[in-house]
Amino acid sequence: MDPYTIIVKPHVTEKTMNLIDQNNELTFVVRRTATKSQIKRAFEFLYDEKVVRVNTHITSKGLKLAYVKLAEEGEAEDVAVKMGVF
């Protein structure tokens, strides 16, 4: 599956901004049928960063969110700046 179709967009809220600083995690809206391993491979391909783990959550609105924890400390903030979140 194409990495550009797996990761739809970043999910930015006050809570996810705190996760960037505190847990080195980024949050994305992803394709509903994507698996954790597909999300991990897509993120590593698109952003060239090592991923430790991926947790997923389906919201009450039907969106699938992926919480992506990065390996190196502070890398989530660097990736967020590249994406234009800050």
CATH number at residue 54: 3.30.70.330
pLDDT of residue 74: 85
- The pTM for the full model equals 0.92
pLDDT band at 72 (very low <50, low <70, confident <90, very high): confident
Q: Quick check: 53 pLDDT over 90?
A: yes
Q: Residue 42: give the domain boundaries.
A: 3-83
Greatest Cα pair distance, the chain, in angstroms, is 32
Given a contact cutoff of 8 angstroms between Cβ atoms, the answer to whether 27 and 16 are in contact is yes
Average pLDDT value for the chain? 94
Burial of 43 (0-12, 13-18, 19+ CB in 10 A): buried
pLDDT at 35 over 90: yes
* Residues shown for the chain: 86
- Total domain count for the chain? 1
Q: What's the pLDDT score for residue 1?
A: 78
